[in-house]
Structure 1
Amino acid sequence: MKKEFIKTIIFTKTPLKKWFRYKDIFQIYPADFEGMPRSNLQQHFPVVLEYWTSDKDHIDVDVEYENLKASFSQTATQYNKQDKLLSLLTVFTNHVFFRYTPESGFWGVAIQHDSPGQEADSWPVKWVLPEFHWPEMAGKFQLSEFSTPEIQEVDYIDHLPYYFQDPNFDSDTKREITFPNTIDLVLDTYFSTDEDERSVLDSAISYAVSAMELMTSKRTLSLLSSFTSVETMVNLEYRSFVAEKCDGCGQLKHSVSKKYRDYLLKYIGDSISNKKKFNEYYSLRSRIVHTGKRLRTEDIYVKMDDEERLGEYKNMAEVLLLGKLAIIQWLLKKEIRYA
C-alpha cells in the first residue's frame, strides 16, 4: 500500500508543548521553526500534524474542468483525513484541535507588535484570510516518512482523573495539553470497528466535536450537540432491540428516556446519584427541544446570582463530558470485551 505523507499546520487553544504519536497513523508536536510567525498575544497555538493517505482514503471529486480534477481530489482526500484525526483528538482529549478553512474571511486589524497602545487606533482595517505561512515554510514541510521530534512525549493522566478532575476545556491557556493514559486503547478500538459501527461512531463524534466548538459561543446549541452525541450512541447500543408494548396501556415498555438513562448508567457509572443526575439532564434536554429553553448565560450580560451562574457552567461541563464519555467508555468496554 503506497502512502503519501503529509505535514501540515493545525491549531489548538491551549499550548501543546510535547509530542504525541499514535502508532504509524499520525503524530503531533508543537510548531517551532526559524522564521515562523510568533506572537505573545496569540490565542491559536500552531501545531504540526503528520499523517498519510493511501488509495483507500481517495475521494474522487467531480469538477467542471478535467485538468483540475486531480488537484481537487487530492485536496479533498487530505482534508477529509485531517478532519477525521482532528475530530478524534478533540473528542478523546479535553481540547479542541482544528484547522483554518480557506473559504472563510473577516474584517480585521493586523497586530503589528505585542505591546499595542493608542497607536493601534490608527492601524488599517483590512479583509483578512485565516492563513499561517512564512516564506521558508514550503521547504520544511516535505515528508517521505514520519519525522523524529527531539522533545519529550506528552504527559499522560489516569483515565478518570483526566476527565473528571478539572478538565480545563481550553479555559486556562497557561496550562499545557495532556492526554488520558487510555487514548491508545480508545484509538485502537475505534480503528478496529467494522464499517457500520464506524459510521455511527463518526456521527456521534461529529456531534461531540460541535459541542466542544460551540461551548463558548452558542452554549444551548452546544448542549444539544452533546445530548445528540449520547443519543446516537444509545441508538447504536440498542440497534437490534425491539421494544415490547404494555398489554394494559399499549405504550412501549422501554421509553427513549429509559434507554438513554440505562445507557449512561451502564457506561458512565451505576449509582443512585448518577441515576438522579441523568434523569435531570434528560429533562433539561427535553425542555430545550420541546419548549425552546435557553441557557441564561447565553446572553452577553444577564443578572444572575453567582450560584445560578456557576450551576449553569457546571451543567455545561458535565453534559459536554457525557457526550465525550458516551463514546469513549463504549469503545473502552468494547476493547475489554473483545480483548
Structure 2
Amino acid sequence: MEVIFKSFIMLANASVKGSFKYKNLFQIIPAPDDFPRAPCLEAHHPCLLELKYEFEFDPDLKMPDGEFVPDWIQQKDREGKIIHEISSLFGVYSLSNFVFPSGGHSWSINTEDGSDLDLQWRQLSYFVEDGRHQHKISKFTDTGCLPMEQVETSKVYNFGARFIGDDFSIPDFLPGILDSYYILEQDDRDAILRAASIFNSAIKIKTISSSISFATFVSSIESLVDYQYRGSKVESCKECNTPRYSVTRKFTDFLKRYSSDSNELVKFYKSAYGHRSKILHAGALFLGEHIPLSWAESDWSAYHMRSGIERICRIAFANWLLERAQMRRCAEFCVPGAEY
C-alpha cells in the first residue's frame, strides 16, 4: 500500500487567506502569491487542495474493451473521487466552497480599473506556467498562515448567503460534520453524496431557472427519503388497495424528523412537494420566469419558498448525517442490552 501526497490547484468562490487542515486527510491553503488572480472581490479565486491517501494498484482492473487499467489512470480516478467527495460536502455544509469552470469558451472583457473594453474570446479555465506548481509532494505544505476563520453555524445558515468580498471561511460545525461523515458505512456515504450532488446541481441551476432549481432541491431531499425508507413494507388499504404511506407523507415525516416539526414548516413541506410536482409535471413555473415580476403576494410567497428550501436542505442533511454517525458509533461501542 503506497501513501501518496498530491497538490491540486482549485478555484473557490472566495479568496483563501487562511489554512484548513482536516486531520491527516486533506488541507486547503492559499495559492502562492505569484499565481494569477482576478482583480475583483467576487471572482473565482485560486487555492491549493492537498490530499493524502493510500493507493494500491489493482492488476486485475480492466476497461470495457478488456484492456488492463494502468497505474496512473487508477490513481487519477481515485483522486477525482476524493476531490468530488470533498467539494460535494463543502457545497452543502459551507457557503464558501469550490467552483469548477465548464471548460468551454466565452466572450470576456478586461475589468481592471482604467482599462479599455478589450473583448476577447477565451477558454473558461485556470492554468499556471510549468514549474510554478508541484503536483506531487512529499508531505503537507507548512504555509505558516493563520487557520481559516470559523463562523458560527447558525449565523451562516440563518443568513443563507456570503457577504460580497468575504474571505473563504467555514461554519464552526464543519469539522464535526467531516468527523461524522468519515465514520459512516459506505452505503450511507454514497447516500449523502448523491443528495449533495443533486443539491449542488440545484445551486448551479439557480441563475438559469429558479423553478427547476427549486424542484431539484426537493429532489435532493427525495433521494435521502428514498434511502431512508428503502426496504420498508408499505401497507395498503384493505378496501381500496391505496398505499397508506404516501410519498408526500414520507417526505413530510422525513423533514419533521431532521428539520423541524413546527406546524408552519409542516405546511411548507407539503406545499413545497406539491409545487415541485406542478413544476415537473405541469410546467407551473414561478412567476417571473414566464411573465414580468409584479411583486404581488404570490411572487413574495414564491421567493420565500425558493430561499427556504435551500436552508431546509442544509439543516436536514446535517441532522441526518449526525444521526447516522451516532448510530454507527453506538453499533461499534455500545453493548447490546446494557444499561448506560
Assess if the C-alpha contact under 8 Å between 1:14 and 1:174 holds in 2: yes
Q: Cα RMSD (Å) of the superposition?
A: 2.9
Match runs of 1:114-125 below 5 Å = 114-117=112-115, 119-120=116-117, 123=118, 125=120
Q: Which amino acid aligns with 1:334?
A: R
Match of 1:166 in 2: 159
2:294 paired residue among 298, 301, 304: 304
Inter-CA distance 325–57: structure 2 relative to 1 (3 Å threshold): farther
Q: Indicate the SS of the match to 1:54.
A: strand
Q: Which amino acid aligns with 1:45?
A: H
Q: Indicate the SS of the match to 1:5.
A: strand
Between stretches 303-312 and 82-91, larger displacement belongs to: 303-312
2:273 and 2:250 map into 1 onto residues whose CA distance is: 11
User: Could you tell me how far 1:335 is from its partner in structure 2?
Assistant: 3.0
1:61 and 1:43 map into 2 onto residues whose CA distance is: 41
Q: Indicate the SS of the match to 1:53.
A: strand
Q: How many residues align?
A: 327
Match of 2:194 in 1: 203
Match of 1:77 in 2: 78
More helix by share: 1
- Structure 1 residue runs of 5 or longer lacking an equivalent are none
Match of 1:39 in 2: 38
Deviation by residue 1:98-133 (Cα, 9 ceiling, x = unmatched) = 2345xx22133462x71254x32xx36334251231
Q: Indicate the SS of the match to 1:247.
A: coil
Deviation by residue 1:148-179 (Cα, 9 ceiling, x = unmatched) = 2322223333443331x2121x5x32223332
1:213 paired residue among 188, 204, 228: 204
1:157 paired residue among 151, 164, 177: 151
Match of 2:93 in 1: 92
Q: Does 1:326 align with 2:316?
A: yes
Q: Does 1:291 align with 2:282?
A: yes
Match of 1:263 in 2: 254
TM-score by length of 2: 0.84
Assess if the C-alpha contact under 8 Å between 2:38 and 2:44 holds in 1: no
User: Could you tell me how far 1:297 is from its partner in structure 2?
Assistant: 3.7
User: Could you tell me how far 1:225 is from its partner in structure 2?
Assistant: 1.9
Deviation by residue 1:225-283 (Cα, 9 ceiling, x = unmatched) = 21111011111221132111112322111101001000100110111112111111111
User: Could you tell me how far 1:181 is from its partner in structure 2?
Assistant: 2.2
1:298 and 1:95 map into 2 onto residues whose CA distance is: 28
Deviation by residue 1:47-75 (Cα, 9 ceiling, x = unmatched) = 21111333269896739898994444433
- Structure 2 residue runs of 5 or longer lacking an equivalent are 331-340
Assess if the C-alpha contact under 8 Å between 1:16 and 1:177 holds in 2: yes
1:65 and 1:57 map into 2 onto residues whose CA distance is: 17
TM-score by length of 1: 0.85
Q: Indicate the SS of the match to 1:146.
A: coil
Assess if the C-alpha contact under 8 Å between 2:35 and 2:46 holds in 1: no
User: Could you tell me how far 1:196 is from its partner in structure 2?
Assistant: 2.1
Q: Which amino acid aligns with 2:39?
A: N
Assess if the C-alpha contact under 8 Å between 1:61 and 1:73 holds in 2: no
2:326 and 2:122 map into 1 onto residues whose CA distance is: 52
Assess if the C-alpha contact under 8 Å between 1:106 and 1:129 holds in 2: yes
